[in-house]
Chain A
């Protein structure tokens, strides 16, 4: 034990109080960092950017639009192959897909859902009613289209829009949000 202790303490002391042997880090040129960041972003956009999470909100629909939106998930349209998927919470969403004429009884719920959706977000109004209130315009219970409560980025008309029409609209959003990736292809 005695020889061991003699060896250990001086070494420990030296390592504790002497500076490290490594050279200091070189200064990183900002231009290189910036270039790498851009390349990484581009690569991430190309590989991961073709994806949108969608939160659907029925703000007054007759449920015809919901039938067709649900059909997007069947194996024939297979929405998820495009990187599009429906999520359960607005907090996870990039897109609010809103249907129906905006009823007075749903306005607050829609506004709160939109407030929960992180920016940047798209708001899509799907169906003739969501566009401008459709045949329900002028009712005491209806405010009009979804635009009466939220700024709308995309309108998909139809009564109801077919799954193909819905898909066209959503794919357009994908293309719009990934201009670089789309341009390079």
Chain B
């Protein structure tokens, strides 16, 4: 069996999964991860080597997290320093014409920073040798902006299937696509006796998004899975550029429909940071109510679907009823079942409608009342437990190397939750459940615990809903606030969606129009781990593994 060095494969250094020691995991995790912020009064701890290197670059006007422009030499030094700094997580890598940006998180300090590098002659030093999570970003950057990562682990196309009229559609001057035919995709190979391939998709058997999965199978066992995505590429970034923030927000809310609130909020947060406006407390509280409702309906949905994929239909049916209750309450309160376009830059679009508060509380009371019974059924049925426990294990080492967020990270020991660190209003005390097992069961249990926490948060938020306005006006173009002629202002937003942290970066010109934007769905750093989780499992367990991840296709296809 051949393998490619450094590819998104399993981590050879990762500790072995905890084997069969799954006994005693009946209790839901309740230990909140302590926010790693420094105690008040104490001097902030010094930067690590990578952050110190980045801060040597010229500071740019980005809020609330700084951006520094490095020369290629310093960027290369940073890339090398990354190899020796496992505590620095790569959150995102993206580009603008002629320049690449990378966003990092110092996991031990909760600090976020952006490093940029001019791509002279369309080239920049690759980060993928040090950070496997960079692989797909680098492939995407080449497809969209035509910038090549020198020394990259993998330079096959990703989003570009050869079917667009343009090559490098977001580059300063895109070229026409002159290729005579659509190229065949290349897949990583597997050699060995009796290995055969199973191609699946892009159109799948269920009602899910399109993507191609190439399985290499030996007997019933998956030797390698490789996903080929990009089928849903709609050119969202290109459509957002040049539009006012309020218009572009509609695209942020449709990056991944199941996370519409979280993405719209992260986008709004970036815009507000760039323009230095602070949304009113009532707007923040209502955003959090909607975000927690979104978390609830998705967690209930996926919990049910995982059970359904294990042929346990009853839990699926009950979870479906509870979820529908949450959606109907959301429709009553906010006028839209998925709460699309309710979060706008500057605040929220409207107040809860009359009866909305009561509808939400009633729906959540039903969930709270039934949750213990559903949990007991989930835990006590051997046929179900047999399918989920020990299936699709992702080791802690891999999760850390990819900086996977959300329940994928938290089920494998990575406690990151953007609501806690770096944290944002109105969240003050969020309990973050963490498990170590990293299997389908652990990911489900993280979600079960988060359902309980979201119920508590919504109740508390509604109890203390501040009075006051729903939004603040954004500064008018040409002169007002930070909108000054000849200057770009930038902002970064980080919001914990149900899947993990949604990260949005924007650059706004004096006319109030977007000049740069990158929406990063958490799935970017989770998809590669699905390939690791499935390895060694039987083909029939793939749907179960896939649903326990439930990565977004549209979110990463942009």
Contact = CB atoms under 8 A, between A and B. Distances in A.
Interface stretch (A4-12, A21-29, A138-146, A173-181): A138-146
Contacts of B236: 136, 139
B209 A141 contact: no
Residue among B231, B256, B323, B337 with most chain A CB within 10 A: B231
Given A58-B208, A76-B324, A159 B340 contact: yes
Interface in A84-138: 86, 88-90, 100-101, 103-110, 113, 135-136, 138
A136 B207 contact: no
Interface in A49-82: 56-71, 73-76
Contact of A66 (B203, B207, B235, B321): B207
Contacts of B209: 58, 61, 63, 66
B231 A106 contact: yes
B202 A140 contact: no
A135 B554 contact: no
B202 A106 contact: yes
Contacts of B323: 71, 74
Given A58-B210, A61-B257, A66-B207, A136 B235 contact: yes
Contacts of A64: 254, 257-258, 260, 338, 340
A71 B164 contact: no
A63 to B, nearest CB: 5
Contacts of A65: 257
Question: Majority SS of interface residues in chain B?
Answer: loop
A104 B164 contact: yes
A162 B234 contact: no
B256 A74 contact: no
A157 B164 CA distance: 27
B230 interface: yes
B142 to A, nearest CB: 16
A56 B22 CA distance: 38
Contacts of B327: 71
B320 A135 contact: no
B552 interface: yes
Contact of B234 (A56, A57, A60, A69): A60
A73 B305 CA distance: 12
Given A63-B552, A104-B163, A135-B250, A142 B234 contact: yes
A90 B205 CA distance: 9
Nearest to B257: A64
Interface string B255-287: 111101000000000000000000000000000
Contacts of A147: none
B1 interface: no
A63 B251 CA distance: 13
Given A56-B207, A160-B338, A74 B324 contact: yes
Contacts of B238: 139-141
A61 B207 contact: no
B165 to A, nearest CB: 6
Given A57-B210, A109-B202, 8 more contacts: A63-B257, A63-B554, A67-B258, A71-B323, A109-B231, A139-B236, A141-B169, A142-B235
Interface of B: 161, 163-166, 169, 182, 202-203, 205-210, 230-236, 238-239, 250-251, 254-258, 260, 301, 317, 320-321, 323-324, 327, 331, 337-338, 340, 552-554
30 contacts: A56-B207, A58-B209, A61-B257, A61-B554, A62-B257, A63-B256, A63-B553, A66-B207, A67-B301, A68-B337, A71-B323, A73-B320, A74-B323, A75-B320, A76-B320, A88-B205, A90-B203, A101-B234, A104-B164, A105-B231, A106-B202, A106-B232, A109-B203, A113-B203, A135-B239, A139-B234, A140-B165, A141-B235, A159-B340, A162-B331
Interface of A: 56-71, 73-76, 86, 88-90, 100-101, 103-110, 113, 135-136, 138-142, 159-160, 162
